[in-house]
Amino acid sequence: MDSRMRAPGEALKPFILKGATQTEMTGDSNLETVRRYLEAEASRHGLKCFLGVAPFRDVHDGLLSVQRTKLREIAGERLHSFMEGGSFISIAFAYPEAAIDAIAVDIGGGFDLDAWGFYSDWYHRLNQALNETSSVMAERLGGVAIPATTSGMIAVIEHVEDYYPLVVSHRVAAELSGVGWRGKNELIVNPVHSCAIRLASIITDMPLERTEPIPDGCGECRACLDACPFLDNKDKLENYREQCRRYIVSLGLEHEVCGKCIKACYRESVHRDAFRL
């Protein structure tokens, strides 16, 4: 195992053995130990983090049918074990505030694309950190990592629906595990960091406590809808996600992002004074 996977001097926790009773082994619950692993990884990357755990079967059943097929492929021969008692660990890393403030900066007659590129770079950095972290945690927990994204796909696919069979939705796991509620912008809104987060997942069949979903907090807020005509008309448009995809491609940033609906949530929503990055 790569030495990066453990803190110096730290032994691999015995709780990873399937069927181990965590309090007998470590004195901590498995959930607390998993959280400490994540916090150590986040700290190594200089990032803030959040974690939730949902039953594997609930996430499986909540996915689109094509994504269920993808998840079954990822689980392979361990599918039955995951379905019986396994968990979906949803992990989130938060953007730094400066990255969110760099989105769609109006410079009079247009947007500052150099500044926007700073946000785009952070999107990539968070994905890299999440991919590395999910892989490290999966190895330590005897699980399987599901990385942050299939990057580079938005511009090359012909239609947004071509993307669905390629990925497993981290948002379903994040919603069912209480990392956040599903906002009106369709992103996961974390009660601490807003939707200024990126997500990855780990599936495991180790014994692990679950965290509860949290109630919808959007209420009468419509800051994200006011920031984006596609979102505001999502019920009238045939497929607003396709319009969003085309807009993202048209921006021509190095990585495939827009983020105006994220900035609106963090800076303009009813929760703006409570959110922090």
261 lines the binding site for ligand SF4 (CB under 6 A): yes
- For ligand SF4, the closer of residues 97 and 139 by Cβ is 97
What is the side-by-side strand order in the sheet with 87-94? 49-55, 87-94, 197-204, 144-146
* One of 13, 35, 140, 184 touching ligand SF4 (CB under 6 A): 184
258 lines the binding site for ligand SF4 (CB under 6 A): yes
224 lines the binding site for ligand SF4 (CB under 6 A): yes
269 lines the binding site for ligand SF4 (CB under 6 A): yes
Extract the tokens encoding 223: 């800051």
| Chain residue whose CB lies nearest ligand SF4 | 183
* One of 6, 45, 78, 222 touching ligand SF4 (CB under 6 A): 222
Binding region for ligand SF4 (CB under 6 A) out of 42-50, 138-146, 204-212, 257-265: 257-265
* One of 211, 244, 255, 275 touching ligand SF4 (CB under 6 A): 244
227 lines the binding site for ligand SF4 (CB under 6 A): yes
| Residue indicated by tokens 């045939």 | 238
What's the min distance (Å) between Cβ of 238 and ligand SF4? 15
- For ligand SF4, the closer of residues 28 and 232 by Cβ is 232
* One of 37, 119, 230, 275 touching ligand SF4 (CB under 6 A): 230
* One of 231, 253, 255, 275 touching ligand SF4 (CB under 6 A): 231
171 lines the binding site for ligand SF4 (CB under 6 A): no
Q: Which residues bind ligand SF4 (CB under 6 A)?
A: 183-185, 189, 218, 221-224, 227-228, 230-231, 244, 247, 258, 260-261, 264-265, 269, 271
